[in-house]
Structure 1
Amino acid sequence: MDEDKELLEKMKLRILRSFKWKEDVVNPLAIELEITNEDMEKILMNKLDMSSLEALHATFESARPHCLSEKLHADLRLCWLCDVMDLLSIEEADEIKIKLVKEIIGGKDYKEALTLGKKQILTLLQE
């Protein structure tokens, strides 16, 4: 391996092994894909250049609320209740999801937030 390539690899690893990258990106994706952290690091090193690596953490963080909202949409069965059966309005569903996303990002356990969301949906459906 030539010196430049070796140096680039070291720089990329330094970014990927920083605390926030490891905690926010590498560990969760490795768990989700059922691979080791080292394998996830290799994938990211091979697929991303230095400028992408340097900018990606901020992008990853800014996408977190959207990802949580999509997950809640599926887990609360809003695909059926809102999108298919039209039992809840889009506005009602969005209001519930936005509130829950803020609580989860604030530290509330996802399962606890999901339970709360189900109760809110049931209340709206029984009105």
Structure 2
Amino acid sequence: MVAKRMGVLVLHEGVDQYLEELRRRFPAVEFQPIRQPAGLEALSGFPAAIAYSCVTDGFPRTEHARLRDWPGLDWVHVGGSGFDHFVADGPPGMLSQRPAVLRAHRRRHQPHHKRGHVRHRLLPGEPRCDHG
């Protein structure tokens, strides 16, 4: 049996700074760089399981929401300025970074906070939450 190669979209205008290092360190992963929003259309058939993106001037927050419709995508990381723009019209159960929501979330998981990073056990019906 041949293992399926994992595909990762990297949406970042500065991807060239670290793309070769990623490919060197993770040879079984196919990294597909997208340096500007127009690149999303060109790669719409790329079989990605993961998308890493970062909000920048060249890749504004509104463009990241287009990842919700990417077929086969299992995990999305949006770095930069929160992810409210990503979940605004998203499915129920996604976390939001609105202050009141985060305050309630922190109170519920306070014992698991260490050095500003959260990794906690999931409660039934709760979405995965890893953030710093």
TM-score, with length taken from structure 2: 0.28
The structure with more strand, counted as a fraction of residues: 2
- Which has the greater radius of gyration? 1
